Chains A and B, each alone.
Chain A
């Protein structure tokens, strides 16, 4: 089948939520939904068991929602939102991952970021790196 091959160079002004960015949008969307659902259930049913871990779950969910929204909005504002949330996410997964390895008492029930995201195939660890790379690659040139 003769299909048109995509243009080799991406236009400078292409929206960050298109091309490979749309794949990121889907994956971030999946994490936004699953992290919020998980946090919601944890907080609604057994909040007292591990308040810190569950609040972190909720925070992680908010970060994923922000990243999804940032990619979807695009433009200067969307870029800034996505950049901020990807950075927070990378710091979060590294800090929480390290803490969960050394202090399992505080994290009896897993969050998205526990064990560097091992419960989610380490995607939470890889995703912010890809996100930041994507935003950097599509940075506006002055």
Chain B
């Protein structure tokens, strides 16, 4: 797992997550900017996963690489699912959906890092 890129993803996701939680507490539905921000995060995550996949193809395989691939699929699909559900829910709860999605993403990235390091790879 690419170090700086993972860190950037985690930091951006956490900051966005806090922002969404505040917006939810203020009873705001997701604005267009909120939704675009989520798409931006999705793109960042997609790049991260792409880099990891290139690493896998390049032969840099963690021991539990099937688990690793499972997490990669979950990770890349996660932010878009949050975005989709938030679009369906134009209330404060839509904002909370974005917030929850943003706070779970760092956990997924951390798990990916753990699995990648388990082999010293």
Contact = CB atoms under 8 A, between A and B. Distances in A.
Interface residues on A, range: 10 to 19
A142 interface: no
Interface residues on B, range: 20 to 34
A23 B67 CA distance: 27
Given A1-B31, A6-B29, A26 B85 contact: yes
Contact of B93 (A22, A29, A33): A22
B106 interface: no
B108 to A, nearest CB: 9
Interface of B: 27-29, 31, 64, 66-67, 70, 74, 81-82, 85, 88-89, 91-94, 96-97, 100-101, 104
B35 to A, nearest CB: 13
Interface of A: 1, 3-6, 18-20, 22-23, 25-27, 29-30, 33-34, 37, 41
Nearest to A6: B91
Contacts of B81: 26, 29
A37 B100 contact: no
A51 B74 CA distance: 26
